[in-house]
Amino acid sequence: MRIKAGLAIAISGAALMLAACDKGSNAPTSAASMDAMAGAAGAVVDDAPSGGASSAVGESGVASTLDMAALNERRDPERLLRYYVSAIRVGDWVNGARAWSLDAEMTPAKLEAEFGGKAGPKLAVGKGDMEGAAGSLYYEAPLVVDFGDGRPSKRGTIVLRRVNDVPGASGEQLNWRIERTSTLTQ
């Protein structure tokens, strides 16, 4: 009897914790984001207030919440995506551009032109797929960009690439970087 009572208490406690977690959920709020991310377990989502600046940005302009070690990530491409989404959310265009490959020629000015304004975007990145080809690994994931200023939402993909441990590859080539996205106007 004690075991059943203890189990009931544990289940009740777990249910209460799940209910509390649901209230602070980071799920996308717009219908476009909800449709695009339906069934995408492990989605990288930004649903925090944005607008070019936040209290997370220090006097130097560098966001204190950014996971700078993500720029050296070689295993988990989603870590770099979380870094990028966070940089865009706080309007840290310099660090956002650092997530891109050198070949993409992404600049802070290009990011600001795309995402800047009074009401910045909310980015939702779904679970992607990894493929290997000719010494490189690619990670492609669905992406939804919702703007808070009336601009239409954009849907597309974001592609990350890294060299697959090829002898002689530089440290930069071995790290995950954004290669392209279909949602940016270029």
Q: What is the rounded distance in angstroms from the CA atom of residue 62 to the CA atom of residue 150? A: 28
Instruction: Specify the DSSP element, H or E, that contains 163.
Output: strand 154-163
**Number of other CB atoms surrounding residue 80 within 10 Å:** 25
Q: State in words which class domain 28-181 has.
A: alpha beta
**Token code pair at residue 183:** 């949602």
pLDDT in tens, 126-172: 999 999 988 999 999 999 999 888 888 999 999 999 999 888 999 88
Confidence band (pLDDT; 50, 70, 90) for 19?
Answer: very low
Give this prediction's pTM: 0.68
| Mean pLDDT to the nearest integer, 29-55 | 40
Domain boundaries, the chain: 28-181
pLDDT the model gives residue 184: 84
Q: What average pLDDT score do residues 5-15 get? A: 36
Determine the pLDDT at residue 5: 38
Instruction: Output 62-71 pairs: Cβ under 8 A, ≥24 positions apart.
Output: 62/92, 62/94, 62/95, 63/87, 63/90, 63/92, 63/95, 65/90, 66/90, 66/92, 66/95, 68/95, 70/99, 71/98, 71/99, 71/175
Q: Name the strand (E) or helix (H) holding 146.
A: strand 136-147
| Amino acid, single-letter form, for residue 156 | G
User: CB of 127 within 8 A of CB of 40?
Assistant: yes
Rg of the chain in Å (alpha carbons): 19
Which of 45-49, 65-69, 121-125, 158-162 is least confident?
A: 45-49
Query: For 76-87, what is each residue's pLDDT tens digit?
Result: 999 999 999 999
The residues, any chain, with a CB within 8 Å of residue 138's CB and separated by 6 or more, are 130, 131, 132, 159, 160, 161, 179
d(CA 69, CA 79): 9
Return the structure tokens found at 54: 């936040």
